[in-house]
């Protein structure tokens, strides 16, 4: 059988050998070493030779794996600064309070996680004491992506430094009383502490990469120099199975993001059991990150292992460590010395001889306790090497024991992720292990006490002094008192009020034209961040390429093929457009970083991310929740929207439901504008609310979702009269009446119906208005429903007010009050989109929509298929009027036959 990893002869044949005799000598030397010293020695020499070649800059394939040992040998470790004993005490208090908080909360059944922080305590404490810059440091300080399940340990540290009290800890995961702590890092729930939501696993590492990249973007565009800021992402080895966790590794290395460090807590366990039971997750991650171009630092073994490595004169120990699967390493952590002697050392005669020199206590110390991630000196060495490394991002693979210091009932147990409490006796054992001065008398009625050395204790003073030296508390989210951005010139918005005349214009193009005007604004233009996932030409944005430039940290190192064209492909180091390639997830991560720059960096940026509507919310809705949690602001634009407008593309490209998904997100203001002037009005109001002067009671921490269409249509002038702008923003206004539309209705007392349409559907509604009048003698008024969702939310708020004894009429009822006849609502989405408002409409209500799967065909055929074209609207309107006895029932049958329905 051919070795798939071997270099095939065909590859070698392509390389001319200028000195076959010398080549033969090298090969003979390798054969001789293999024969005399064995294949392990030969492999060792080859690895060292390849490492030397790589170090000398010789172009060879990189070694993707190294031995299962620490990257930084003990002799090369720098001395950790500070008071190590004091830091040990601080870590002990944090371990205790984290476990006590979760255990005390278990009586309420609210859950919590103990074992994760127990394994990662030193990974955090070393950073807090020596590396993580606070918000008062240069630039904007560091950005910390805390592993979600470790939140109790972060709360415990905030308790120690005085930012939280016992009442807060006792309300962990119980927020409704107003003094509680959210389960995980949730900025919207605890906005002074948490900066980044991370517990939807996989989104933290993805966001951290794009945050580090956005930091460079801000610096390169001279918005703010944040070159001193470092991004730290704390992750679990099980979390790395999420595809988003590794989706942007190549981007980070390609752009040389040495302002980024991943710290992966390799405790070898995920939620149900081992991460790689039959394999080695550390080696797998090392190969993955090295292959992507990252600097990799392995911090696996603690100082107790130093003696074992000194005794390993044959390499047998290193070989054995490399071959033992992770699940067996986990087993060693729970078994006695006799078992380890037999199963680990007994597999190799050289190791069996080594074991004779080791006491049982030494073996248990190594295999039960001594991991690199549990020792401050080892962690400090890794962190120092990471921040000093230039030219690439760094990942630290730190091996730990899940449940460390929590006792034999927790450490390395498969179920420890779900274990929520310790017994009183287990806490007392933990207290003794951690050497904490907590007396038995403080365990009253079986309740575990919190521990605190005192506000003026040496531990607290040390902790606060270290944070002061690093720029203030961490983690922390800053609320900047930013001046409102000046409103762009009115001309940019008013230009849409007159309509497009005889020219047909798609609303996608209208939005792009608006943005082109806004980015020219002298005051705020530079703050716009256009984001697109490799579809700029689809959306007509190529005209922005030469004027704004596409951001690239290298600038443009080549001559573009279209350099002689007016709209050539221009990349620039200070480029404004983020063109991410085919990655909606990466583009959303961009958007999140830009949309929260007002807090992270004290710089208000205005991102707009334009995407195929079908592949925005459907693919990355989880990131929209992350965006809402992180209090992001900006404009999401679903282009080529609707189920019937994207001709010929078919089922998977036909969006009939993005407004449904958007409606589930409380932070998303979802609009389906029909006309260019509506887009201008919505964007203008969005800029006011998010970046200008929000009205009393308005939350500026929202984002807008606008659907725009690729179908060129007439863009009418904005109707005159009061209430139009208000109606556009609130979700509904009367576009015309039968009389103002100029349709000829024969009978003075003709039946009347109210037709509501959103987005592109308004055009079919207008056609139906004309058909109803000219062919059936029915008068209809046409309403533009710019936001079914905002109408519903307003109505829900009115219902809530009523429960409080306050009378308030929902806006949708106010708008339609007195409107004659029934209501028929139409959209290019499934019927539940317009049906959101049904219960608050006084008139008889029915709807039409594009339910079901999309299909490939022309727009006309697709609309007929779904029953939303003008003729279908006419039949539905007649049927509604016939039920009321206002038209003859035979008219419905006649209309179906006439229109071929």
pLDDT in tens, 870-884: 999 999 999 999 999
Contact 153, 120 (CB under 8 A): yes
Q: What is the pLDDT of residue 47?
A: 83
Contact 117, 98 (CB under 8 A): yes
In this predicted structure, the answer to whether residue 99 has a pLDDT above a threshold of 50 is yes
In this predicted structure, the answer to whether residue 9 has a pLDDT above a threshold of 70 is no
DSSP conformational letter for 632: -
d(CA 299, CA 296): 10
Helix (H) or strand (E) holding 400: none
Question: Using CB atoms within 10 A of its CB, is residue 22 exposed (0-12), middle (13-18) or buried (19+)?
Answer: exposed
Torsion of CA 840, 841, 843, 847, to 10 degrees: -120
Q: What are phi and psi of 859, to 5 degrees?
A: -60, -45
Question: pLDDT tens-digit profile of 744-757?
Answer: 776 678 999 999 99
Question: pLDDT tens-digit profile of 391-400?
Answer: 999 999 999 9
Question: pLDDT tens-digit profile of 499-541?
Answer: 999 899 999 999 999 999 999 999 999 999 999 998 888 888 8
Q: How many CB atoms lie under 10 A from the CB of residue 870?
A: 21
Question: pLDDT tens-digit profile of 284-342?
Answer: 999 999 999 999 999 999 999 999 999 998 889 999 999 999 999 999 988 999 999 99
Arithmetic mean of pLDDT, 558-570:
89
Highest mean pLDDT among 321-335, 710-724, 785-799: 785-799
Contacts of 336 (CB under 8 A, 6+ apart): 360, 364
How do 703-707 and 606-612 pair as beta strands? unpaired
Q: What is the pLDDT of residue 511?
A: 95
In this predicted structure, the answer to whether residue 54 has a pLDDT above a threshold of 90 is no
Arithmetic mean of pLDDT, 429-438:
95
Q: What is the pLDDT of residue 420?
A: 63
In this predicted structure, the answer to whether residue 412 has a pLDDT above a threshold of 90 is no
Query: Rounded mean pLDDT of the chain?
Result: 93
In this predicted structure, the answer to whether residue 16 has a pLDDT above a threshold of 70 is no
Residue 502, SS3 per DSSP: coil
Contact 152, 102 (CB under 8 A): yes
In this predicted structure, the answer to whether residue 6 has a pLDDT above a threshold of 50 is no
Contacts of 146 (CB under 8 A, 6+ apart): 124, 154, 185, 194, 196, 198, 234, 475
Q: What is the pLDDT of residue 608?
A: 96
Q: If pLDDT is split at 50, 70 and 90, which confidence band does 416 have?
A: low
Q: What is the pLDDT of residue 413?
A: 62
d(CA 84, CA 376): 8
DSSP 648-670: TT-GGG--S-HHHHHHT-TTEEE
DSSP 85-148: HHHHHHHHHHHHHHHHHHHHHGGGT-----HHHHHHHHHHHHHHHHT---TTSSTT--EEE--G
Question: pLDDT tens-digit profile of 155-200?
Answer: 999 999 999 999 999 999 999 888 899 999 999 999 999 999 999 9
Q: Cα separations (Å) of 227 from 127, 246, 366, 477, 591? A: 19, 24, 41, 19, 20
Q: What is the pLDDT of residue 417?
A: 62
DSSP conformational letter for 274: B
Q: What is the pLDDT of residue 44?
A: 84
Q: How many CA atoms lie within 13 Å of 9's alpha carbon, on the beta-carbon side?
A: 1
Q: Please report, in angstroms and rounded to a whole number, the separation of the first and last CA atoms in the chain.
A: 66
What's the residue count for the chain? 901
DSSP conformational letter for 855: -
- What residues does 144 pair with on adjacent strands? 232
How do 231-236 and 143-145 pair as beta strands? parallel
Question: pLDDT tens-digit profile of 450-472?
Answer: 999 999 999 999 999 999 999 99
Residue 712, SS3 per DSSP: coil
List the alpha helices (DSSP H) in 749-888. 761-776, 788-803, 811-816, 859-866, 870-883
Which residue in 700, 679, 675, 682 sits closest to 790, CA to CA? 682
Q: What is the pLDDT of residue 567?
A: 86
Q: What is the pLDDT of residue 14?
A: 44
Q: If pLDDT is split at 50, 70 and 90, which confidence band does 4 have?
A: very low
Model pTM above 0.75:
yes
Residue 671, SS3 per DSSP: strand
In this predicted structure, the answer to whether residue 264 has a pLDDT above a threshold of 80 is yes
């Amino acid at each position: 059988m051919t070795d798939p990893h071997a270099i095939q002869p065909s590859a070698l044949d392509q390389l001319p050998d200028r000195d076959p005799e010398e080549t033969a000598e090298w090969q003979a030397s390798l054969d001789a070493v293999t024969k005399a010293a064995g294949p392990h020695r030969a492999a060792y020499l080859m690895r060292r030779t390849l490492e030397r070649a790589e170090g000398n800059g010789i172009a060879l394939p990189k070694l993707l794996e190294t031995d299962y040992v620490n990257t930084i040998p003990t002799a090369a470790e720098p001395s950790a600064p500070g008071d190590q004993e004091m830091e040990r005490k601080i870590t002990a208090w944090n371990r205790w309070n984290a476990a006590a908080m979760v255990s005390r909360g278990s009586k309420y059944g609210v859950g919590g996680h103990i074992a994760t922080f127990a394994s990662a305590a030193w990974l955090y404490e070393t950073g807090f004491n020596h590396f993580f810059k606070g918000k008062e440091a240069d630039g904007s300080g560091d950005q910390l992506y805390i592993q979600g399940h470790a939140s109790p340990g972060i709360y415990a540290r905030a308790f120690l430094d005085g930012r939280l009290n016992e009442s807060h800890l006792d309300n962990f995961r119980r927020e409704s009383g107003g003094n509680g702590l959210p389960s995980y890092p949730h900025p919207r729930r605890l906005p002074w502490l948490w900066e980044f939501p991370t517990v939807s696993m996989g989104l933290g590492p993805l966001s951290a990469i794009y945050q580090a990249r956005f930091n460079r973007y801000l610096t390169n565009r001279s918005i703010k120099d944040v070159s001193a800021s470092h991004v730290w992402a704390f992750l679990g080895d099980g979390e790395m199975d999420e595809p988003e966790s590794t989706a942007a590794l190549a981007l980070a290395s390609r752009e040389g993001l040495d302002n980024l460090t991943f710290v992966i807590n390799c405790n070898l366990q995920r939620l149900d059991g081992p991460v790689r039971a039959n394999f080695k997750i550390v080696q797998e991650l090392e190969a993955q990150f090295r292959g992507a171009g990252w600097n990799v630092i392995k911090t696996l073994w603690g100082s107790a292992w130093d003696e074992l490595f000194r005794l390993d004169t044959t390499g047998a120990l290193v070989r054995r460590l490399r071959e033992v699967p992770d699940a067996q390493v986990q087993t060693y952590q729970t078994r006695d010395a006799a078992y380890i002697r037999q199963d680990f050392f007994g597999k190799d005669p050289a190791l069996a001889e080594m074991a004779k020199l080791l006491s049982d206590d030494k073996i248990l110390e190594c295999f039960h306790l001594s991991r690199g991630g549990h020792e401050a000196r080892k962690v400090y060495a890794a962190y120092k090497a990471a921040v000093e490394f230039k030219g690439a991002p760094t990942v630290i693979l730190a091996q730990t024991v899940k449940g460390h210091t929590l006792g034999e009932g927790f450490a390395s147990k498969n179920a420890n992720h779900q274990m929520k409490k310790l017994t009183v006796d287990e806490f007392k054992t933990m207290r003794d292990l951690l050497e904490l001065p907590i007396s038995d008398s403080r365990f009253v009625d079986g309740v575990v006490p919190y521990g605190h050395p005192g506000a003026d204790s040496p531990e607290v003073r040390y902790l606060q002094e270290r944070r002061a030296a690093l720029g203030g508390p961490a983690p922390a989210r800053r609320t900047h008192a930013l001046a409102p951005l000046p409103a762009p010139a009115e001309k940019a918005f008013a230009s849409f009020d007159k309509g497009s005349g005889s020219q047909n214009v798609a609303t996608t193009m209208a939005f792009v034209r608006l943005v082109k005007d806004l980015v020219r604004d002298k005051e705020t233009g530079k703050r716009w961040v256009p984001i697109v996932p490799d579809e700029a030409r689809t959306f007509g944005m190529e005209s922005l390429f030469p004027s704004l430039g596409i951001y690239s940290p290298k600038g443009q190192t080549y001559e573009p093929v279209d350099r002689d064209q007016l709209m050539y492909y221009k990349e620039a180091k200070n480029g404004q457009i983020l063109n991410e390639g085919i990655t909606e997830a990466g583009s959303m991560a961009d958007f999140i970083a830009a949309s929260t720059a007002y807090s992270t960096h004290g710089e208000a940026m205005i991102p707009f991310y334009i995407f195929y509507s079908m592949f925005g919310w459907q693919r990355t809705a989880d990131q929209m929740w992350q965006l809402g949690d992180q209090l992001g602001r900006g404009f999401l634009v679903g282009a080529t929207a609707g189920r019937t407008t994207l001709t010929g593309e078919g089922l998977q490209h036909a969006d009939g439901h993005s407004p449904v998904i958007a409606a589930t997100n409380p932070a998303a203001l979802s609009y389906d504008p029909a006309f260019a002037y509506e887009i201008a009005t919505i964007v203008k109001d969005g800029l006011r609310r998010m970046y200008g002067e929000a009205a009393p009671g308005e939350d500026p921490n929202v984002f807008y979702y606008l659907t725009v269409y690729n179908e060129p249509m007439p863009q009418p002038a904005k109707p005159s009269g009061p209430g139009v702008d208000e109606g556009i923003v609130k979700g509904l206004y009367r576009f015309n009446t039968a009389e103002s539309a100029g349709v000829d209705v024969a009978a003075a007392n003709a039946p009347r119906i109210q037709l509501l349409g959103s987005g592109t559907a308004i055009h079919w509604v207008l056609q139906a208005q004309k058909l109803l009048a000219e062919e059936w003698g029915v008068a209809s008024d046409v309403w533009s429903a710019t936001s079914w969702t905002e109408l519903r939310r307003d109505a829900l708020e009115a219902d809530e007010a009523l429960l409080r004894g306050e009378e308030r009429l929902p806006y949708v009822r106010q708008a339609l009050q007195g409107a004659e006849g029934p209501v028929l609502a139409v959209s290019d989405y499934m019927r539940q989109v317009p049906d959101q408002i049904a219960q608050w409409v006084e008139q008889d209500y029915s709807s039409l929509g594009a339910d079901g799967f999309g299909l490939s065909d022309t727009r006309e055929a697709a609309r007929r298929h779904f029953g939303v074209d003008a003729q279908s609207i006419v039949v539905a309107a007649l049927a509604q009027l016939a039920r009321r006895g206002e038209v003859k029932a035979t008219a419905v049958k006649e209309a179906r036959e006439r229109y071929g329905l």
